[in-house]
Amino acid sequence: MNDALKKSGLYWQPLGGNNADQISGHCYCYTDVARQGKKLSTTSVLVDLGKFDNHQALGIRNSAAAVPDIRDILSDRKNPPQALFLTHSHPDHLNGIVHYLKAGYRLPPLYAGKYTFMILYDLLKDFQIGQDLWPKFNVIEDGNFVKKGSLEIEVLASSHTCFDSFGFIIKSPNAVVYHSGDMKLDQTTYFRKPTNLRRLKERAAEIDAVVADFCGIYADGFAVRETETFEQLVRLIKKSRKQKIFLPVYPTHPEMYITAFLAALKLRKNVVFYGNSDFFNYLKMIIEYGISFEKMAQGKIEVSYSHNREEIDALENNYVVIGTFNHIPEVFSANRQNSYGIITAKTFFNPLKGQLNLRNIPFATVDDYPELQGYGHGFFGDYEALNNLLGQRPVFIPTHCPTYVIDDVRELAAYCKIKLIENTPKNNQIYRIKKKKIELISSSPAKWLAVIYNNDNFAYMTEVFQKPTSGHGFLKRTISRRRCRKRFKAFLQRRIRQEQPS
Ligand SMILES: [Zn+2]
């Protein structure tokens, strides 16, 4: 155990979500030091174990991934972590698990939703990890309680871009923390439970702190709702008056597969699922999870999974092609007269845009219709509303954003009565939470572990100090500090104007 953890308190340590600029490789450690009579008891749990996407930028030759450094936590013999809770199935929250197993580490029992485990099984098979090395799996769902030592954890549904996304209310004798996980407040999710606002309201008076996903707060208002994405798709397909619609979706966002399908169904257009093996892998899991496209179709439209010419011809030139694809094969005979494209991600489908241009096929993009993208993270308005729902009581501890976002949002947050943690948290710091009092008690430089696989198929981990990596490697998506600051200024001015008597 870290020497800093001597007094009673609920200790929070971010290990990947509070990086200088690019954020991924999420992992958080909660350690509760509780008084039991004259003695202190210690209970640690981990939340998420993701991978860092931009590992190439760390400059380690032949690296296959990078993960947060939790070696000391895992090898703590006196107080080993008693559980690893997973908020959802996205790689930046989940994929660190396989690399640690490959490096020979044993992991505590896992707690996650059914869909998260389906994705994890797939990874374990992919990485050829023998079953004897698997940690214990415990399936959880909205409303469940899990007890670990002095901690009691309630599972709450969260609206995000995959099934079984959760937040957790972590209750200790020292403090109650709502760990939001990736989420927005949207209550219009299809085929999965939205963020459990009812329960948050019920427990509002108890909650001292919110470890909050601030990934999307540099946009104002509420994050786009799923019904808005659906309605925009319907509008564009209708307006195009074309017979064949090409609608690529982002592979790890199953909610978009479904939203696109529902739009096609609404307009009585047949659906062709078409894409690479990655796409069909996810599609298979969505179906195994329990989503039946045939059932939804109720015989009103045909659903095709093949690229066979006869089968495509039988759809009588009336279909929407849904999938992850960057080219359009001949079998669709797409041309300017009969086809229209809808591009639902910023850069992912750039080669497809080129193909559509080459064939003179008109298309809509997220630049013109931002709702097309589908959003998984709350905007600033979501957090304003969450704070109000919680009675403006808790202290917000932002994560999942560059540290400068937290520094720059302070003035706006204060105006909106959102209490932010005094220090801006950085990876590997440790904070002590005692009711609403949060203090920084230790800071040491954070590291990524670059993972290298040799021929022996064993993971070798090399330490690299965390540093800004925007503009290096393949990831350049982080918003610039200047733009971010300008936006927060504009949001603040808007609010001041709105409050002035006219
Ligand atoms: Zn996510």
Q: Is the pLDDT of residue 132 over 70?
A: yes
Query: pLDDT tens digits, residue range 219-240?
Result: 999 999 999 999 999 999 999 9
pTM: 0.94
Contacts of 116 (CB under 8 A, 6+ apart): 86, 88, 89, 94, 164
Query: pLDDT tens digits, residue range 301-312?
Result: 999 998 889 999
* Mean pLDDT, rounded, for 396-415: 95
Which band of pLDDT confidence, cut at 50, 70 and 90, is reported for residue 477?
A: low
Task: Say which range, 330-344, 405-419, 454-468, has the weakest mean pLDDT.
Answer: 454-468
- Cα of 160 vs centre of ligand 1, distance in Å, is 7
Q: Is the pLDDT of residue 473 over 60?
A: no
Dist CA 295 CA 254 (whole Å): 17
Contact between residue 41 and residue 73 where contact means Cβ atoms under 8 Å apart: no
- Give the model's pLDDT for residue 374: 85
- Cα of 183 vs centre of ligand 1, distance in Å, is 8
How far from 150 is each of 74, 153, 204, 351, CA to CA, in Å?
A: 19, 10, 21, 53
Token digits of residue 493:
């001015």
> Domains in the chain and their CATH numbers?
9-222+375-495 (3.60.15.10), 226-373 (3.40.50.10710)
Task: Say which range, 19-23, 213-217, 312-316, 458-462, has the weakest mean pLDDT.
Answer: 19-23
- Cα of 88 vs centre of ligand 1, distance in Å, is 7
Q: What is the mean pLDDT of the chain?
A: 94
- Cα of 117 vs centre of ligand 1, distance in Å, is 15
Dist CA 90 CA 107 (whole Å): 19
Q: Which residues surround ligand 1, an ion (CB under 5 A)?
A: 90, 182
Residue type, 393: R
What is the layout of strands, in order, in the sheet containing 145-148?
A: 145-148, 151-157, 166-171, 176-179, 209-213, 395-399, 419-420
Question: Helix, strand, or coil here: 289?
Answer: helix
- Cα of 162 vs centre of ligand 1, distance in Å, is 8
- Give the model's pLDDT for residue 476: 53
Q: Name the nearest CA neighbour of 30 among 84, 68, 72, 103.
A: 84
- Cα of 330 vs centre of ligand 1, distance in Å, is 35
